[in-house]
Amino acid sequence: KRSLSSLTTLNDDELLLQDSVRKLAHAEILPRVRHMDEAEQMDTHIIHQLFQQGLMGIEVSSQYGGSECSFMSVILAIEELAKVDPSVSVMCDVQNTLVCTVFNKYANDAQKETYLPQLTADKVVNPCQVYRPITPLKLGSFCLSEPASGSDAFALQTKATKTDGGYILNGTKMWITNAAEAEIFLVFANLDPSLGYKGITCFIVDKEQGVEIAKKEQKLGIRASSTCVLNLDDVFVRDDQVMGEIGKGYKIAIDILNEGRIGIAAQMIGLAQGAFAASVPYTYQRKQFGKAVGEFQGMQFSFADAHTQIEAAKLLTYNAARLKEEGKPFTKEAAMAKYYSSKIAQAVSGSAIEWAGGTGFTRETGIEKFWRDSKIGAIYEGTTNIQLGTIAKFVQKEYGD
Ligand code: CAA
Ligand code: FAD
């Protein structure tokens, strides 16, 4: 009854997956959301559930324990999870769109065989009906940002030095999602700073090789999602832990981020819908001046405006996802989807608090949490200005001389 989408472009497999994630989110995640937010801790039961439902390697081939579904399925899963908890959503997003995608696109066969089964499935019971029991299951992290390089990501200072049989890594990574729970880290380091960003190389690092969690951040929102500072102090990795080509790490990073940004857009449209659904029904119950507050035209126009913004953001996001699936250019569309979805997520969740009056301001309803969680959309995987800069480059290409 409360579906906000009038889109009819999802196929049967995608609708099935969407439905199963929705059920999982309501049965397993919803009862734990407030506690996880207040404890600033992800519940391990949820991590296991995502593995067991095949949601940690949605696009990965069944040969490696993945669910072998479409990119749109990943987007739908992230969206559905964010309707209930944007923290769980980003954990799943990073595992799929950043970590597994790097392995899918750039790892050699031996690396895929070693790492993908650990990153993907336990017992898959998703619509693709693939069964493959595998242990142990591991979360991954994508480690690009550093204390002195956020937007200017290619100015990273983590250093790789060649040694017998491998490389020694030294440096500090900052803001790393999933890092408190992760055991596999994709680390971007510069092997030859004289080449500038063309010295950046991507390495696969196992936690036990010496990744030290130096600090877990305390945040405004997505508090159950861990965000950490990592120290790499003379960490030795073998030659076979180089991901892709030497010196092509920058290309891997931005190639993956271009599509990862569609994932964050999906998180933000899910969040906006979660906030809308948490607030609007209350307004049809709450009576003032002798009638439900949701019946005042001032309120109804505000709902209609938010509803339209959500639909527009959804169309941008799904369109970018379909373009990517079809192998068409999608960088501009992904930047637009992330930019616009994070903007409307903030606006809609802010309005949702006001629609519910004082009740919306309390922690009990969970509406204020959506608003706190929405702020991150304009920051990670490229800030709003970075997205606007990307869109502006296309505008200039099209309209400049
Ligand atoms: N797509 C493809 N290639 C791109 C690109 C894009 N969007 N933007 C830049 N490039 C390429 C250029 O073509 C160039 O490559 P070549 O030399 O091979 O032609 C190279 O990158 C450098 O180009 P610029 O000098 O124009 O780029 P820059 O150094 O000024 O900035 C950037 C590049 C670091 C990618 C920057 O635009 C950017 O996106 N910064 C944001 C960083 C980011 O998104 N970090 C996310 C970390 S992960 C994360 O946040 C996860 C999470 O929260 C959950
Ligand atoms: P800065 O780059 O210092 O930006 C500060 C301000 O300056 C912003 O408003 C920005 O838009 C503006 N600005 C910067 N450059 C320009 C410009 N050229 N033009 C106009 N304005 C500009 N990184 C990872 O590698 N892996 C992760 O898993 C990860 N997870 C994260 C999780 C969280 C909760 C957070 C907060 C961050 C995470 N990040 C991660 C890092 C994230 O990608 C960076 O925070 C982001 O790219 C911005 O970098 P910064 O924080 O250094 O801000």
pLDDT tens profile 250-274: 999 999 999 999 999 999 999 999 9
Q: What percent of the chain has pLDDT over 70?
A: 94
Q: What percent of the chain has pLDDT over 90?
A: 92
Backbone angles phi, psi at 234, to 5 degrees: 50, 50
pLDDT at 142: 98
The answer to whether residue 136 scores a pLDDT higher than 80 is: no
- ipTM of model: 0.99
For 47, phi then psi, to 5°, come to: -60, -45
Residue identifier of the C-alpha nearest atom 2 of ligand 2: 151
What's phi and psi for 174, nearest 5 deg? -130, 150
Mean pLDDT computed over 31-54: 95
Q: Please, which pLDDT band fits residue 1 given cuts at 50, 70 and 90? A: very low
Task: Supply the pLDDT for residue 131.
Answer: 46
Average pLDDT, the chain: 94
Which residue matches tokens 């959309």?
377
What integer pLDDT is reported at residue 2 of this predicted model?
44
Q: Which residues are catalytic?
A: 381
Query: Percentage helix, strand, coil, to 5, in the chain?
Result: 55, 15, 30
CA 399 to the chain's CA centroid: 33
Q: Is the pLDDT of residue 139 over 60?
A: yes
- Whole-number pLDDT of residue 394: 97
Q: Cα separation of 276 and 352, whole Å?
A: 6
Mean pLDDT value of segment 195-223: 98
Flag whether the pTM goes above 0.80: yes
Best of 96, 139, 227, 254 to mutate for ligand 1, by most ligand atoms within 8 A of CB? Answer: 254
Q: Which phi-psi region, left, alpha or beta, contains residue 300 (left: φ > 0; alpha: ψ -120 to 50)?
A: alpha
Q: Which atom of ligand 2 lies nearest, measured to the CA of 383?
A: 11
123: confidence class by pLDDT, cuts 50, 70, 90: low
Phi, psi of 230 (to 5 degrees): -120, 140
pLDDT tens digit string along 318-343? 999 999 999 999 999 999 999 999 99
pLDDT of 6 over the 80 cut: no
pLDDT at 109 (0 to 100): 97
Residue type, 168: I
Does residue 71 contact residue 327 with C-beta atoms inside 8 Å?
no
The reported pLDDT for the residue numbered 9 is: 80
CA distance 192 to 322: 38
| Residue in this structure with the two tokens 């944007």, named with its chain if needed | 86
- Ligand nearest to the CA of residue 143, numbered in listed order: 2
Statement: residue 214 has pLDDT above 50:
yes
Pick the residue whose CA is nearest to atom 48 on ligand 1.
381
